[in-house]
Amino acid sequence: MHVVIIGGGVIGLSIARALIKLDIKVSLIEKNRVGRSASWVAGGMLAPQSEGLKEGSFLDFCLESRNLYKDFVEKLEKDTGIETGYWQCGILKLAFSEEEKKELQEDINRYKKLGLKAKWLDREELEKIYKNLGEEVLGGALYEDDAQVDNRKLVLALEEFVKRNADVYEFEKVKEIKTENGKFKAVVGENVYIEADKCVVSAGAWSMDFGVDVFPLKGEMVALDIEKEDIDRVLYSSRAYLIPRKNYHRLVVGATQEDVGFKDGNTLKGTMQLLTGARDTLKILEDKNIQELWFGYRPATKDELPILGEADIENLIYATGHHRNGILLAPITAKVISEYIYSGKESRYLKEFSPLRFK
């Protein structure tokens, strides 16, 4: 079997890897360099609980992926020799108001009922850990099983593996999908024409070019210099999230979220929101140097759920719309999509997140 994949972000690359492991021939077409769009831009949090997800299929999908992560990165690291910065550091979600405190305490109760780890730490307890805690912080919910990966290192490792084992066409934009009798036939790029048995559309925030209702939600980010003693794990709140990388070479501060279409650049407003949020969380950050500013586009959908599986064209399979959680969801997406391609096994997630729900 030969599968062609449109889009080489974390989703396309992870699916490519899973298919290669099943001995399926893969061609991947990417309009820029692989892995340099949303998947490069992200924070890399693996945070179903910190995201406050409610009980249901999407939380199940996210938790399953979080459980797959350790094995996913360990095998990838072994195959490529590239370390991914995966760190089960836990995430502390802070409350800046009584309302947020109440909401977090309700979340803790919900998650405990599901058998998940969650505990409340009040301000006094937090002050023992963080010398420079912002004055408005009232306490926080500690989710020990939420984690992080350095998404840039992850895509570098995936890129290495996929380039070694598949035909990768970079700087090649797919312009058209050819069909015959309602079935996928070929993709047409600017310089290539590739026929294959099946096609996966994993074109991120640009997937609307291939007939699904995905739109971009812009996010801006900042990185600061950091010392090991400043912060021990991810601190997440409504003001900003702070992600210390495992080797403390940077603190990633995110993220704004704006529905402004594709509007490139870092704004004064966005940068100020992030820097103020960082300082409100840990006062010491005020004195740190800025390393980098960047931005990107989440592939969002109207109901904030991913789009997985076939729609009207047989053998054309969507794997997109991962919105705020695409780094987290890469292992489970690769699993359910590759199983479907290989054996026709349709996981419950393909039914629940089918593109047909919008028809």
Ligand X SMILES: Cc1cc2nc3c(=O)[nH]c(=O)nc-3n(C[C@H](O)[C@H](O)[C@H](O)COP(=O)(O)OP(=O)(O)OC[C@H]3O[C@@H](n4cnc5c(N)ncnc54)[C@H](O)[C@@H]3O)c2cc1C
- Order of strands across the sheet with 241-244? 119-122, 139-143, 91-95, 234-236, 241-244, 251-254, 215-224, 290-300
Q: Compare residues 159 and 230 and give the one whose CB is closer to ligand X.
A: 159
CB of 122 to ligand X, least distance (A): 26
Question: Strands 215-224 and 45-46: what pairing?
Answer: unpaired
Q: Compare residues 5 and 95 and give the one whose CB is closer to ligand X.
A: 5
CB of 127 to ligand X, least distance (A): 27
Q: Compare residues 101 and 318 and give the one whose CB is closer to ligand X.
A: 318
At residue 257, the 3 state secondary structure works out as: coil
* SS3 letters across 113-164: HCCCCCEEEEHHHHHHHCCCECCCCCEEEEECCCEECCHHHHHHHHHHHHHH
Q: Compare residues 94 and 101 and give the one whose CB is closer to ligand X.
A: 94
Say which amino acid occupies 333: T
Q: Compare residues 15 and 104 and give the one whose CB is closer to ligand X.
A: 15
Q: Compare residues 46 and 82 and give the one whose CB is closer to ligand X.
A: 46
Q: Compare residues 101 and 218 and give the one whose CB is closer to ligand X.
A: 218
Cα 260 from Cα 234, distance rounded (Å): 28
CB of 222 to ligand X, least distance (A): 10
Say which amino acid occupies 23: D
CB of 288 to ligand X, least distance (A): 20
- CB–CB of 11/333 below 8 Å? yes
Question: DSSP strand E in the chain: where?
Answer: 2-6, 25-29, 45-46, 91-95, 119-122, 139-143, 147-148, 167-169, 174-180, 183-189, 193-195, 198-201, 215-224, 234-236, 241-244, 251-254, 290-300, 307-310, 316-320
CB of 151 to ligand X, least distance (A): 7
CB of 330 to ligand X, least distance (A): 8
Q: Compare residues 32 and 109 and give the one whose CB is closer to ligand X.
A: 32
Q: Compare residues 40 and 111 and give the one whose CB is closer to ligand X.
A: 40
Cα 291 from Cα 304, distance rounded (Å): 32
CB of 105 to ligand X, least distance (A): 24
Say which amino acid occupies 91: I
Q: What residues make contact with ligand X under the rule CB under 6 A?
A: 6-12, 29-32, 37-39, 41-45, 173-174, 202-206, 209, 219, 221, 254-255, 296-299, 320, 322-328
- CB–CB of 177/199 below 8 Å? yes
Cα 94 from Cα 88, distance rounded (Å): 18
CB of 252 to ligand X, least distance (A): 9
CB of 9 to ligand X, least distance (A): 2
